[in-house]
Homo-oligomer: A and B are copies of this chain.
Amino acid sequence: MTTKRLLASAIAMGSALAIAAPAMADDGLGNYRDRFEPLPHFPPIPAHNSLTPEKVELGKFLFFEPRISSSGVISCATCHNPALGWADRIPRATGHDGQIGERNTPTVLNSGFLGAQFWDGREPDLEGQALGPIEADVEMAMDLDSALERLTEFDLYQEKFARAYPDDESPINADNLAKALASFQRTLNTPNSPFDRYLRGDIDALNQQEKDGMVAFVDNGCIACHSGPALTDSNFHRIQVPGSTDVGRYEVTGNEADMYRFRTPTLRNVAVTYPYMNNGATETLEESVAIMGREMLGREFEEQTIADITAFLHTLTGEMPALEIPALP
């Protein structure tokens, strides 16, 4: 299926679902369900970067393009690997010349729903985020001008940039590279998880333990920070997980109050985006739930509570985006 058709059918599905949601049967948990929001098929689209099939298609090519790294073998898809929940499943990102970064790779799935990008929120949106890893010494280690020059050498990119930005005289530039990557990423969403189906009225989409987990998630206050459609407030909270000396948002603002603060990560697809925490030192959901209880909520969860919340978190795995690997030039 072409990107254009995918986009059209996804948008159509979104509207259809909004209209056709069945009348909600009752399992007595309406007060809990009301605290959550199902994941829309698309995140908010910024006015300065309309979502067009041409940009999405170009962005897909660029996302898989290793020639914009200095080694020529690392692309966005190396660490945001579609086979691995669009992340890398290692503790901390490994990039150029095998260098290991400071932080765990966040998934790009549903990243358009986040109000702040990177663990420290140093960019507000995907357009701001997109170019960082290309230039970072420990990631793709490519000078941005060289990356743009490299793209310019390919007729196919000349055509695709011109089609995506028909009003620009020199469409291959940093802004347009970022906009295309951001556009593609805004299509990488995972709606229709069991929890979304439950929220939309299919009360059997969750079993009893998973519902108990939802209740525990609310009653214990996890939802204070993990709220909204992506289950994150996109805000910054102070936490020092075992083994981490990372000062977090303090690096961005230089403000003492931001020491050890990190952006709340999304819990969407959390079961397939292990390991966890800013340093990736935590392998399992069970451990993560225990750590969050201890560090953020000041309580030692019972084993049953941990099991229930973990079962609930597994219901947040949605439908992975359809993907046809592009044939790069």
Question: When A320-B327, A325-B325 are in contact, do A98 and B82 touch as well, CB less than 8 Å?
Answer: no
Q: How many copies does the complex hold?
A: 2
Q: Are B83 and A78 in contact (CB under 8 A)?
A: no
Question: When A72-B94, A88-B73 are in contact, do A83 and B328 touch as well, CB less than 8 Å?
Answer: yes
Min CB–CB distance A96 → chain B (angstroms): 6
Asked whether any CB of chain B lies closer than 8 Å to the CB of A148, the reply is no
Min CB–CB distance A40 → chain B (angstroms): 23
Question: When A83-B326, A325-B82 are in contact, do A73 and B96 touch as well, CB less than 8 Å?
Answer: no
Minimum CB distance partner of A69 in chain B: B94
Q: Are B88 and A328 in contact (CB under 8 A)?
A: no
Minimum CB distance partner of A272 in chain B: B327
Residues of chain B within 8 A (CB-CB) of A96 are 98
Q: State the CA gap A89–B72 with chains docked (Å).
A: 8
Minimum CB distance partner of A98 in chain B: B97
Asked whether any CB of chain B lies closer than 8 Å to the CB of A181, the reply is no
Question: When A78-B78, A97-B98 are in contact, do A325 and B72 touch as well, CB less than 8 Å?
Answer: no
Minimum CB distance partner of A323 in chain B: B325
Minimum CB distance partner of A77 in chain B: B83
Residues of chain B within 8 A (CB-CB) of A325 are 82-83, 323, 325
Q: Are B72 and A88 in contact (CB under 8 A)?
A: yes
Q: Mark A47-69, 1 if CB is under 8 A from B, else 0.
A: 00000000000000000111100
Q: State the CA gap A160–B272 with chains docked (Å).
A: 19
Q: Are B78 and A90 in contact (CB under 8 A)?
A: no
Minimum CB distance partner of A64 in chain B: B83
Q: Are B90 and A327 in contact (CB under 8 A)?
A: no
Interface of A toward B, CB cutoff 8 Å = 64-67, 71-73, 78-79, 81-84, 88-90, 94, 96-98, 272, 320, 323, 325-328
Residue from A64, A97, A272, A325 with most neighbouring chain B CB atoms (10 Å): A325
Partner of A84, one of B89, B272, B320, B328: B328
Residues of chain B within 8 A (CB-CB) of A88 are 66, 72-73
Min CB–CB distance A15 → chain B (angstroms): 27
Min CB–CB distance A250 → chain B (angstroms): 29
Minimum CB distance partner of A61 in chain B: B83
Q: State the CA gap A96–B98 with chains docked (Å).
A: 7
Q: Are A79 and B83 in contact (CB under 8 A)?
A: no
Residues of chain B within 8 A (CB-CB) of A67 are 89
Residues of chain B within 8 A (CB-CB) of A81 are 66
Q: State the CA gap A306–B326 with chains docked (Å).
A: 30
Min CB–CB distance A150 → chain B (angstroms): 12
Minimum CB distance partner of A328 in chain B: B83
Partner of A94, one of B65, B73, B79, B323: B73
